[in-house]
Each structure stands twice: as structure tokens, then as C-alpha cells.
Chain A
């Protein structure tokens, strides 16, 4: 042990000291604010926090609020479609590059480029493109197809899908980059074995290669899932939650009640529900990927 410690480039004690600032930030900024939010959610606070116990009053109110239930439902639909579409599209693109079907340099840049934009920019761009009086619909109409309609953002039944479309455009490139890195790491001999065994390429991907990349896929899904829970900027930029409540999401709901409607206790209750839901959803994954041996 003594010789091992002697070989390390730093003393173990020094490393612990160096990590202190990080620990302070984690404890105060993350855990502290979490605890504070949960505490406030148990009070009748309105504009300013008042420390007075009110039990589960805010939670009872929350689940009777139609707008909250709609926003949760929207988030689930949005999340399911967004994650599924981004994963499928990103994986297919990665495979296309891996198979050298597409010219890598160009395609990789084009597909990864959207990810470097902020959701606000994406939202504004797509809002313009999908705005019936400005964007795609207008151009196609002008080219002579008078009956062409592409008015998803203004249609309450379709607006959510418009947001999904923009979000997928933004994030599929990330999945592609992650999956491509994974595919590049696959042992060449594995592909040779697959060919000698007479297994078709698509079957090789589905049954052998993609299962190997499961940790990469889990990482991608977690990253996309975090984007779903945080989905606020894209919605605000594209539809501002409308038309009506068609694209409202919990994050926007919480922000509204925090800063616009001045109802801190109520918003904290909603935030706490989100926290618990996310923790419950991610815990099994964290367990599977990081904690379980092998």
C-alpha cells in the first residue's frame, strides 16, 4: 500500500481537499434548494414564502387543477414521442454512417449542428417555419399548391406534435453522435463472425450489436428524458403553451405560478411532484447502469 500511494501523482488527502468546493456546491446549491422547495410546498405561501405548516393542502389543490393534469399529460405524450423518435432516427443515422451509406463528414456536421443551438433558437425558427402566414405553408401555397396546409402550431390537436417535431430535429443528432461512437467501438471480428454465421446485417444490428450498446442507449434516453422534464424554453419560444393549454408542460406551469401568478407554495408543490416523479423514474436506471455489478 505504501508503495502504491508513493506512486500516485498526488496525495489522497490532497484530492479530498481539492474536491471540497464541489461538495459545498452540491450540498448547498442542489440539496439545499431541494429541501427548501419541499419545505415551502408544505406552507400556504403566496407572493413571499411564509414558514407556517399547511400539510398537504397545496398537493390536494394541485391534483384538482385541470391545467396541471393537462400539462402532465402533455409532457408524457411529448416525452414518449420525442424520446422514441429521437432514438430511432438517431440510431438509424448512426447505422447509415457506420455502414458508410452516407458521407460522414457532411452528414455528421449537418445532423449535429442543431444540437449546438439553444432550444429558444430552435423554437423560434420552427415557429416561423410552421407559422401558416410566414413559413412552409406560405411558400408552398405561393408555388401553386393553394390547398396545402401546414398549420400544426395553431391547431390545438396538432400543436404538441409540432413541438415534438422541432425537439426531435434538435436532439436526434445527439443520439446519432453517441450511437456512432458506440458502433465505432465494436470489435471488427464481431462483424466477421456475424458474416460467417450467415446473419443478415439488419439482424446483426438488432440481435447482437445494439444489445451491446445498451448502456449507450440508456445514457441517451436519460439525457433526452432530462430534456423532456426541463422542456420549457422550446415550448415558450414556439407556442407559449398554446393554443389554449394544448402544449402546456409542468415546467411552464411551475414557472407561471412562481413568477407570474405569485403563488410560491403552489408552484413548489408542483416542483416537488416533478422531483419525486423523476427520481422514481430514474432510480431503477441508475441502479441498473451504475450500481449493479457487471
Chain B
């Protein structure tokens, strides 16, 4: 993809104290979020957590009952969607069914009173950019899912939007197409430089596309950060468990000081966690130790291995293998190589990489 000729600079979005209410049900209350110009921000969270609601509020499609939204420093809380400089792409594509691809892209501009020649030129340029030129005369029904979604992106693109809003744009596509379009959207962002706000519940999409991820639950922001930070240093048990497949392994026990060392103790397990960098180093009490499957490795002969258990299941995935083992403190998974993995029934000694582990306060769920 070449650089898009009429790309406009991305705009900053400011959301301050936002409250959204359906009837008497507060879906979002007092939510604040600042999105940088040109940033690719992904809203990630389980179904019903309010991602679409937040996106629709930024688009101006639903009424806000408290707080303000600004785009490019301009307060747009009460502005019509068309006056916000946004383009939007939907999961169901939402193309105009009886119009051709060219009309789908140009109709909004035509209604807006733009000159015919200019519309034709913009549609042409956009179609070229998205490799839709040969499809301009077709109806949406005659397109594949991936092509439809490209047309929907084109419709947002001709508007010269500074902000792109995506609501699960790839969820209706099969796995292969989804991967392809994901790459295309990333390229699109790189060549446009516009601000993109992207809703998904697919963590692979979130990890690969985002500059920053916002993890939401129940209408509240759980954590904001770069993908590596969200993955490596989850702010609470929810975020830790939501990202990553297989899930992070949780071992329940407690943290206590023993003769100057900080120890994590669980059933049949004593780990010296003095070396872990904690925000709350003086904590003592019930805690959960979180270890990613890739942070557990089998101990070689002679190596010290604080964890031991029996292999119960192996899942060879091609490039890697997931090995499940039963410890006294619970079931854990390990990410191992494609070859030389143990068989079910084998005894396994495991070495955790504590520098990459997370500790959570079991009472509050917060990271220590």
C-alpha cells in the first residue's frame, strides 16, 4: 500500500468523566481516557463490558448523560456524528445494499453537497488505495466478506476522517481472512497516521494492532498500556486472566517475611520472591502468584526446581507444545518446544522465571 494521498493528521481524543445510562442502568460511569493524535488504541474486554457503547459515544451515536468528549481539542459532546470528523466501520459492514461500491463510498459526500468531479476523484483514489478498482460497479451482495469490509473502510476513508472508529470489524470473517485484513488495517494506520479507536474481544488483534490497549470490564477501565506491558505486568487478576492463551497460571498461597527474605508459600511449595520488584514490597497476607506458561520451564538434571508434578496432557500446536502438569497447588500449563516434550504420566520438575512473574493481593485482586 502506498501512502494515501489525502490523509489528514490524526486528532487527539479526550474523554472526561463520561457517563452513559440506558434507562436506569449505568453502563459507563465517570470514565476518563486520553487518546494521542495518530494513536492506535484498542478497547478490549469481554462481551457486554461497554466497548461498543464507549465507541458509539465517541461517534455521537448515543447520548451522553455526564462528562465531555473532545476531538482535536474541540468539545463535540453534543455534536452530530457527521460533524466530528470521524469514519466508522462496523462488524456487519453496514454497506448500503442497493448501491454499488462506488455509490456506497460516494453517497455521503453527494448528500453533503460535494461536486461530482471531486467525489469521483476521491472514490477513485480510495478504490486504488484499497485495491477495489475492479469492484466499483458491484453491489455488496456480490462481494466476499473481506471485500465488503474493505469497501466499508473505503467509505470511512473518502470522508477524510481524522479519527477512525472500528467496532469488531473482523469478527464476521474466517480465521485466514481475519489475519490478512488485520495486517491491512495495520498498514492502513501506518500510511494514514490517523487516530484509530478499535473495539475487539480478540486478544490477538489487540496485541498485534495496538499502540496501547485499554482493558475494560463492567464499564470500567482495568488497565491502559502498551501490549507488552498489559501482557507482562497485568494490573490485576482480571487483566492477567483475560490476556494470554493458555491463561496465566495462578498459584494461591500467601506472602510472608521470613528472616529478612520475602517468601511465597503454598501447598507443598516455598518460593523465595525477594527478587521480585513489587509496588507494595511490605505486603504480607493471602496472595496469588501468576506465572505465564512460557515462564515455566522444565529443570535440567542437577538444576534446582522448586515445583514438581505429573504431566497430565500435552497439546502439540506445531511450533510449540502446551504441556499440562498437576502440582500440589493446582494445575499449570507450560509452553515448550515442538520436540522433546514429556509424555503424560512423566514426572516433571519445573523452574519458574520469577523475574517475569506477577503477584496479586488475593483480597483486592490488585497487583502487588
Contact = CB atoms under 8 A, between A and B. Distances in A.
Interface stretch (B16-24, B79-87, B212-220): B79-87
A207 B97 contact: no
Interface string A184-212: 00010110110111111001000110011
Contact of B88 (A192, A203, A207, A294): A192
Interface in B93-142: 93-99, 107-108, 111-112, 141
B155 A197 contact: yes
Nearest to B112: A198
Contacts of B314: none
B59 A208 contact: no
Contact of B86 (A190, A196, A214, A294): A196
A192 B94 CA distance: 8
Nearest to A207: B107
B170 to A, nearest CB: 15
Contacts of B141: 294
B277 interface: no
Contacts of A207: 96, 99, 107
B61 A197 contact: no
A192 B111 contact: no
B91 interface: yes
B92 interface: yes
B107 A197 contact: yes
Given A208-B98, A211-B98, A192 B108 contact: no
A196 B87 CA distance: 7
Contacts of A193: 88, 90, 94-96, 155
A192 B59 contact: yes
A199 to B, nearest CB: 5
Contact of B111 (A190, A199, A214): A199
Given A192-B61, A208-B98, A212-B98, A197 B91 contact: no
B108 A199 contact: yes
Contacts of A187: 92, 94
A208 B96 contact: yes
Contacts of A294: 141
Given A189-B91, A212-B98, A196 B111 contact: no
A209 to B, nearest CB: 9
B147 interface: no
Interface in B49-105: 56, 59-61, 80-83, 86-88, 90-99
Nearest to B96: A208
B77 to A, nearest CB: 16
Interface residues of A, number: 18
A214 B97 CA distance: 11
Interface string B281-324: 00000000000000000000000000000000000000000000
- Give the one of B60, B61, B82, B96 with max A CB within 10 A: B96
Main secondary structure on chain A at its contact with chain B?
helix
Interface in A101-128: none
Contacts of A200: 111
A197 B82 contact: yes
A272 B73 CA distance: 74
Interface string A203-239: 1000110011010000000000000000000000000
A75 B83 CA distance: 51
A208 B99 contact: yes
Contact of A197 (B93, B97, B98, B108): B108
Interface in A170-196: 187, 189-190, 192-193, 195-196
A207 B98 CA distance: 9
A294 B108 CA distance: 26
B351 to A, nearest CB: 50
- Give the one of B87, B92, B141 with max A CB within 10 A: B92
- Give the one of A193, A196, A212, A214 with max B CB within 10 A: A196
A250 B96 CA distance: 43
Contacts of B60: 195
A193 B167 CA distance: 12
Contacts of B86: 196
- Give the one of B86, B90, B93, B112 with max A CB within 10 A: B90
A266 B288 CA distance: 96
A7 to B, nearest CB: 25
Interface string B242-279: 00000000000000000000000000000000000000
A34 to B, nearest CB: 37
Contacts of B83: 198
B82 A196 contact: yes
B90 A192 contact: yes
Nearest to B59: A196
B108 A198 contact: yes
A113 B321 CA distance: 67
A187 B91 CA distance: 11
B62 to A, nearest CB: 10
- Give the one of B56, B82, B93, B94 with max A CB within 10 A: B94
Contacts of B59: 192, 196
B209 to A, nearest CB: 21
A198 B80 contact: yes
- Give the one of A187, A198, A203, A214 with max B CB within 10 A: A198
Contact of A212 (B56, B97, B155): B97
Interface of A: 187, 189-190, 192-193, 195-200, 203, 207-208, 211-212, 214, 294
7 contacts: A190-B96, A193-B95, A195-B82, A196-B81, A197-B107, A198-B112, A203-B111
Closest 5 CB pairs of A and B: A198-B82, A197-B108, A211-B98, A189-B94, A193-B94
Given A189-B90, A190-B94, A195-B80, 10 more contacts: A190-B96, A192-B59, A193-B155, A196-B86, A196-B87, A197-B82, A197-B111, A197-B155, A207-B99, A294-B141
